[in-house]
Amino acid sequence: MEKKKKKKNNNSKKMKSNKKLMIVESPAKIKTISKFLGENFQIMSTFGHVKDLPPKKLGVTVDEQGKISIEYSVIENKNKLIKDICKTASKSKEIYLASDPDREGEIISWHIGQEIEKIFPDKSKIYRITFNEITKPAITDAIEHKTIIDLNKVNAQQARRVLDRWVGYEVSPILWRKIAKGLSAGRVQSVALLLICNREEEVLIFKPDEYWSVQALFIFKKTTIESELFKISNKTFKLKNKQETDKVLGEIKKEKFSVEKITEKKRFKRPLPPFMTSTLQQDSYNKLGFSVDKTMSVAQKLYEGVSFGDKDKQEALITYMRTDSLRISNTAIKDSRNYISKKFGSDYLPKATNVYTKKGAQDAHEAIRPINVGITPQIASRHLTPDQTKLYSLIWKRFVACQMAPAQYFQRQLLIKGKKYTFKTTGSTLMFDGFLKVYMVETEEDKQTIKIPKEIKEKDSLPLKKVDGKQHFTQPPSRYSQATLVKELEKKGVGRPSTYAAILSTIQKRKYAKFEKKRFHPTELGKTVNNMLIKNLPDIINISFTAHMEEDLDKIEAGKIKRDSVLNEFYEKFKKDLVAFGGKIATKKALETKLKCPKCGKSLMIRFGKTGEFLGCSKFPECKFTSNFKRDEKGEIHMVKEEVKETEIKCPKCGKMLVKKIGRFGPFYACPGYPECKYIHQESLKMPCPQCGEKIVKRRWKGGNFWGCSGYPKCQFAIFGEVEETPCPKCNSPYLLIKKDKQKNIIFSCPNKECDYTKKD
């Protein structure tokens, strides 16, 4: 009997050892992939990165020969996860590292692979696989074409991370000394800020120019034809003011006009290419109103998979959404052409496949497209949230349209000539909608709504019915929206698909730019940091250098240049600028304004503190006047008078009535006699601290409010939540906690873990 049991246990161990382990980046993929691979595979997730440069030191060293060493440490709270993965790996037959198919994914696989190698006996059975879509054929194909870690891709990621660490870790402390504590610099984010600041400068210095256009109505039989003045004496012109325009109008009214020339031609409007990351972000912003962050978040869910009725089964709907490639697989092209032919007919299908390319694209994966073109937005919408439906519909339509025939327009153009003045009229008619049947885009032809009579001929007389002048002013360049900033970053070669969302988010989190009325505006802090960086680090913080660096990272990935040569070239310039920048010790940066201090008459300066930007007297600390401020559309600074609300609470120190103010953690009550009297009122409970007898006061932190002992840090008693100062009727605890249940009923409960008293209000 014992022998049989022993044999059974051995078989059990053997079954475990026959399992294969696949490690993915996101836990959301586990259910979907498990469905495809069955019981032979166990799927685990790294939950993103497992290692990074150490948080409290540089972690990068350069020796005398220029060799660069990088130190990694396990990310906080990831030790147990690594241990669990390694434990499972030690019992597995084969290991498949299947993190995302980009540089970040490669370094994740490299890091977890290093840990597995420590306990896994056969390194030759640790494989790297990538797939662009989460489907059974794609994953099966990836397993069949398994490979090893791409060290060139790892080197490219390391180079980017080291560059960012050098700039962030070595420039930030200088900004703390020279502007304000807590500031940070970023290699790519600083260039995005530079673009925003440059555009703001263009807007503020812009001076509008006046100009006039001339529109006329001509009569042909019983119809009228709208036309615009095209040339004067066969030359282009510019009417600068009303006087010039009135003179021209007077002369036009005296002339006789006829049709000088009629031009007819067909025009073709070709479909746009499928989406890549930047164009998806732009179109999603413009058409759906989605922020860049939201677009990527919704797309991530569509990529990882959603439930189509069965909660245990996930259906992936789109290919990988971080890409700058326009390539489409042959299978996807074939499926889309079959769909177009059956759904719309052969007229909508071009004879040859529409092929799209992008110079400099990392062609590791495809464009963003639906995995199954047969899952139309109408079908998918039954299982998706409204936001998921909108984005999937946009991706699906753009992809199907990109393989359709062009739209065709019939265009007629009239040149209407007098003696001195020539007018031009263009009319356009849509003859065949082509790809526009699926994906509407506004074209120049669509704007040409003027109807030109078919029977009109050259030399036909066209009597003038009416002529008017219209005043215009040149417009300043628009501040960047999220869509136009991403477009500009891509155009300049700054950043990559995986970084656009992070760039936009970071400059706002650092309070270098604010997003108001759907446009980016640099803050005073942002402008100050930008000016300081471009003045002191001109070789590093500039657009062309950053774009060139992105190209070098691509070359490292392609194996064309070495990681350390790129980093050393960067650091050589960076170190020289850094020494000069850091050596100029000065007082904290403040910007002088034209405003005078109302207390002493000296100049007011823009200063930067923990709570943000403010105006302060240049004679500080002798004069302590401060004020909030705002800038108008012309960039002029105005003081903002702080609204002070007096309360009925008396200051216990000087007797004045306390006033309500707003601080970084919200409203508080303080003495109006500051700085002579610095009393700040703290709300307190009637009951003393049960541990030490001191007062319990309301405290604020970034997570909200809580009650804490005034004897902190000696006494660390704290209550998180609302308090009812009523003793517990069961155990006589001095207070009850107030909470709400799911139905929003108020529940009173005893904080004593040994007491189970609760009461519903």
Whether the pLDDT of residue 754 is over 90: the answer is no
**Residues 242-271 pLDDT 10s:** 999 999 999 999 999 999 999 999 999 999
Same domain as 176, residue 123? no
Same domain as 325, residue 337? yes
**Cα–Cα separations (whole angstroms), residue 590 to 38, 180, 412, 428, 636:** 64, 10, 61, 58, 17
The CATH number given to whatever domain includes residue 64 is 3.40.50.140
Same domain as 238, residue 185? no
Q: Which of the 8 DSSP states describes residue 589?
A: P
- pLDDT, mean of residues 341-355: 94
pLDDT at 638: 82
Pairing of strands 603-609, 680-681: unpaired
Whether the pLDDT of residue 631 is over 80: the answer is no
Token pair recorded at residue 667: 């409203």
Phi, psi of 74 (to 5 degrees): -70, 135
**Residues 149-186 pLDDT 10s:** 999 999 999 999 999 999 988 898 888 888 888 788 88
Determine contact, residues 228/442, Cβ cutoff 8 Å. Answer: no
Residue 619's pLDDT band, with cuts at 50, 70 and 90, is confident
d(CA 694, CA 715): 9
Same domain as 291, residue 393? yes
Strand segments, DSSP code E, in 257-313 are 258-269, 306-307
Comparing CA positions, the residue from 463, 108, 423 lying closest to residue 128 is 108
Residue 357 lies in a domain: yes
Q: Higher pLDDT residue, 666 or 696?
A: 696
d(CA 440, CA 407): 11
Residue 528 lies in a domain: yes
Residue 221 lies in a domain: yes
The neighbour count for residue 729, using CB atoms within 10 Å, is 11
Q: pLDDT above 70 covers what percent of the chain?
A: 92
Same domain as 32, residue 104? yes
Residue 303 lies in a domain: yes
Same domain as 463, residue 395? no
Q: pLDDT above 90 covers what percent of the chain?
A: 52
Same domain as 224, residue 169? no
d(CA 35, CA 47): 20
- The strand pairing partners of 683, in sequence order, are none
The neighbour count for residue 39, using CB atoms within 10 Å, is 9
What is the separation, in whole angstroms, between the first and last Cα of the chain? Answer: 63
pLDDT at 493: 87
Among candidate residues 96, 320, 439, 669, the one labeled active-site is 320
d(CA 645, CA 663): 14
Where in the sequence is the domain holding 506, given as residue range(s)? Answer: 157-206+478-583
Comparing CA positions, the residue from 265, 226, 221, 263 lying closest to residue 455 is 221
**Residues 435-483 pLDDT 10s:** 999 998 766 655 666 788 889 999 999 999 999 999 999 999 999 999 9
Token pair recorded at residue 201: 């400068």
Q: Which residues, including other chains, have CB under 8 Å from residue 621's CB and lie 6 or more apart?
A: none
d(CA 303, CA 296): 10
Whether the pLDDT of residue 1 is over 80: the answer is no
Residue 3 lies in a domain: no
Token pair recorded at residue 364: 């590791």
pTM comes to 0.76
316 CB-side CA count, 13 A: 28
**Residues 737-747 pLDDT 10s:** 988 877 778 88
The CATH number given to whatever domain includes residue 423 is 2.70.20.10
| 3-class DSSP assignment, residue 218 | strand
747 sits in which H/E element: strand 746-749
Residue 7's pLDDT band, with cuts at 50, 70 and 90, is very low
State which of 547, 568, 583 marks the end of a domain: 583
Same domain as 286, residue 235? no
Whether the pLDDT of residue 362 is over 70: the answer is no
The CATH number given to whatever domain includes residue 342 is 1.10.290.10
The neighbour count for residue 656, using CB atoms within 10 Å, is 14
Whether the pLDDT of residue 689 is over 80: the answer is yes
State which of 427, 458, 473 marks the end of a domain: 473
Residue 609 lies in a domain: no
Same domain as 392, residue 491? no
Same domain as 61, residue 139? yes
Mean pLDDT of the chain: 88
**Residues 504-554 pLDDT 10s:** 999 998 889 999 889 999 998 999 999 989 888 887 888 888 889 989 999
Comparing CA positions, the residue from 117, 97, 109 lying closest to residue 157 is 109
State which of 555, 583, 611 marks the end of a domain: 583
248 sits in which H/E element: helix 242-252
Whether the pLDDT of residue 5 is over 50: the answer is no
Residue 122 lies in a domain: yes
Whether the pLDDT of residue 729 is over 50: the answer is yes
Residue 669's pLDDT band, with cuts at 50, 70 and 90, is confident
Torsion sign over Cα 231, 232, 233, 236: negative
Q: Which residues, including other chains, have CB under 8 Å from residue 691's CB and lie 6 or more apart?
A: 709, 715, 717
Comparing CA positions, the residue from 253, 232, 743, 242 lying closest to residue 464 is 253
Same domain as 198, residue 92? no
Same domain as 520, residue 506? yes
**Cα–Cα separations (whole angstroms), residue 484 to 105, 281, 285:** 28, 10, 10
**Residues 41-68 pLDDT 10s:** 999 999 999 999 998 899 999 988 889 9
The CATH number given to whatever domain includes residue 579 is 1.10.460.10
- The strand pairing partners of 416, in sequence order, are 259, 423
pLDDT at 61: 92
- The number of domains in the chain is 4
- pLDDT, mean of residues 394-422: 95
Whether the pLDDT of residue 584 is over 60: the answer is no
Of 210-214, 620-624, 626-630, give the range with the top mean pLDDT: 210-214
The neighbour count for residue 44, using CB atoms within 10 Å, is 17
755 CB-side CA count, 13 A: 19
Determine contact, residues 49/111, Cβ cutoff 8 Å. Answer: yes
- The strand pairing partners of 608, in sequence order, are 613
Amino acid at 555: K
Residue 182 lies in a domain: yes
Torsion sign over Cα 246, 247, 248, 251: positive
H helices of 430-523, where?
444-447, 482-492, 500-509
Determine contact, residues 185/163, Cβ cutoff 8 Å. Answer: no
Whether the pLDDT of residue 665 is over 60: the answer is no
Per-residue burial over 482-504, b if 16 or more Cβ lie within 10 Å, else e, is bbbbbbbbbebbbbbbbbbbbbb
Q: Higher pLDDT residue, 760 or 202?
A: 202
Active site residue 320: yes
d(CA 328, CA 363): 10
- pLDDT, mean of residues 33-37: 88
Determine contact, residues 625/593, Cβ cutoff 8 Å. Answer: no
d(CA 670, CA 677): 9
- pLDDT, mean of residues 202-207: 92
For the chain, the residue count is 761
